[in-house]
Chains A and B, each alone.
Chain A
Amino acid sequence: MSRATSLPPLSDVARLSLSVGRLLMESGESGRTIHEEVSLAACALGCDSAEVYCQHAAIIVTLRRGEEFCVQMGKVGEHGVNLRRSEAIKDTLRRVASGDLECSAAQTELDDVPHTTPSYPVWLVCLCTGLACSAFGRLFGVDWPAFFPVLVGAASGQWIRHTLIVRRQNNFLISGIVSFCSAFLAGLGARLLGSSHPETAMVAAVLLIVPGPAVLNTQMDVIEGKPNLAAARGLRVIYLLMFMTLGLVAAQRLILPGT
């Protein structure tokens, strides 16, 4: 059988590559990881080379196979963090690389990934987020009376964030609203329970908004030679932090008027 008939069409490989890049970007992976995974899939499907140009809102893939070449561009949706989704995508690519999965079957699997990836119940995510922020509070020296208010404030904030994300509200507005609500509840509870660190408790309660993986990806993209993507990520991080701070300051004016 000739090479041309045994391999999938280059346009199908490009579509698969774009799906991989888009899903990984939306799941919070760095530019280098996306390049590696797309190259892995494309080379496994017979391409001689695969170049990926990642931007914050779009991905361009250029594939070469002998005399053929194909360039495709696709849009990227809202960036988030979803480690189980990343793992599912990489598992699919491993099977493509080992020859266990064909291009069309891999495309079907990838198209289903957003719907089939399991996730934790919302109540558990809210509880654990609250617990994580309370733990942050302890690391910053918040006293025990403020531990529970921070937990309640951050857990409530996560529930509000989940509700607003489902309704497709603007991410920056969500940050401001969640920051205000979390800080308000944590500060109010800390004051009522006699904590001596209500200000720090309010800061701890809004840390669920800090986009940690995006911050780290910004660093990695700079170091690994993708400054454009890093700049876009960095700008977005700064705006998220600004909205978070505005919500926090507004809550502090209400709870701690003298500060």
Chain B
Amino acid sequence: MNNFWLHLFHQALFGGIAAAGFGILFNCPPRMIFECFGSGAVALAVRTVGQAADLNLGEASFFAALVVATLERVLQQFQSSRGSILSLVGVIPMVPGSIAAKGLMNLLALVRAQPSDEVLAATNGMRNLLEVTYTLAAIGTALAIPRLIYPRKTPQALL
């Protein structure tokens, strides 16, 4: 049990650092860097809990992105000019860039594979790319749901 909490803390901490780092790379306003850290930490914590509950990467990422996007929508002012900065930066640590790179590397390896290794390289490459597609679709859908359920006011209503 202690190991799990330690792992959870570790994932949340480094998820927060990654989100804050990318927040600065994306020129996020300075007053929001700590919020970016919190957003990334929450996302990684929820994803880690989901994976501990036997959800796969895509499912866990879906719930993590949904929690972050919902929290942002609920806590922010309706017409804040911040838009969706927090949910964008918060889910960045969950974008499976490394799996995409491994998938493409496996497909490149297929070009120079021996006949006996071809099936393995092709299978690994396709599995990686399918996992990337599935996870990205899950994150994108989760980010869109709060916006679709709780849309912004129309311009006419704002005036």
Contacts and interface: CB of A to CB of B under 8 A. Distances in A.
A216 B152 contact: no
Contacts of B137: 219
A97 B159 CA distance: 7
Contacts of A86: 83, 85
Interface stretch (A1-9, A60-68, A126-134, A188-196): A126-134
Contact of B24 (A120, A204, A241): A120
A117 B27 CA distance: 10
Interface stretch (A38-46, A69-77, A104-112, A163-171): A38-46
Nearest to B81: A90
Interface in B1-53: 10-11, 14-15, 17-29, 44
A40 B18 CA distance: 34
Main secondary structure of the interface of A (DSSP, over half): helix
Interface of A: 28-29, 32-33, 36, 39-40, 42-44, 50, 81-87, 90-91, 94, 97, 117, 119-120, 124-125, 128-136, 138-140, 158, 200, 203-204, 206-208, 210, 212-213, 215-216, 218-220, 222-224, 241-242, 244-246, 248-249
A40 B158 contact: yes
A135 B85 CA distance: 20
B104 interface: yes
A196 to B, nearest CB: 17
B28 A84 contact: yes
Q: Which of A50, A86, A132 has the most CB of B within 10 A?
A: A132
B127 interface: no
A216 B21 contact: no
A200 B101 CA distance: 11
Contacts of A248: 101, 105
A212 B97 contact: yes
B159 A44 contact: yes
Contacts of A131: 17, 21
B21 A119 contact: no
Contact of B104 (A32, A222, A245): A245
A28 to B, nearest CB: 7
Given A128-B20, A129-B25, 7 more contacts: A124-B24, A135-B21, A219-B136, A223-B144, A223-B148, A244-B101, A249-B105
B105 to A, nearest CB: 6
A82 B26 contact: yes
B19 to A, nearest CB: 8
Nearest to B140: A219
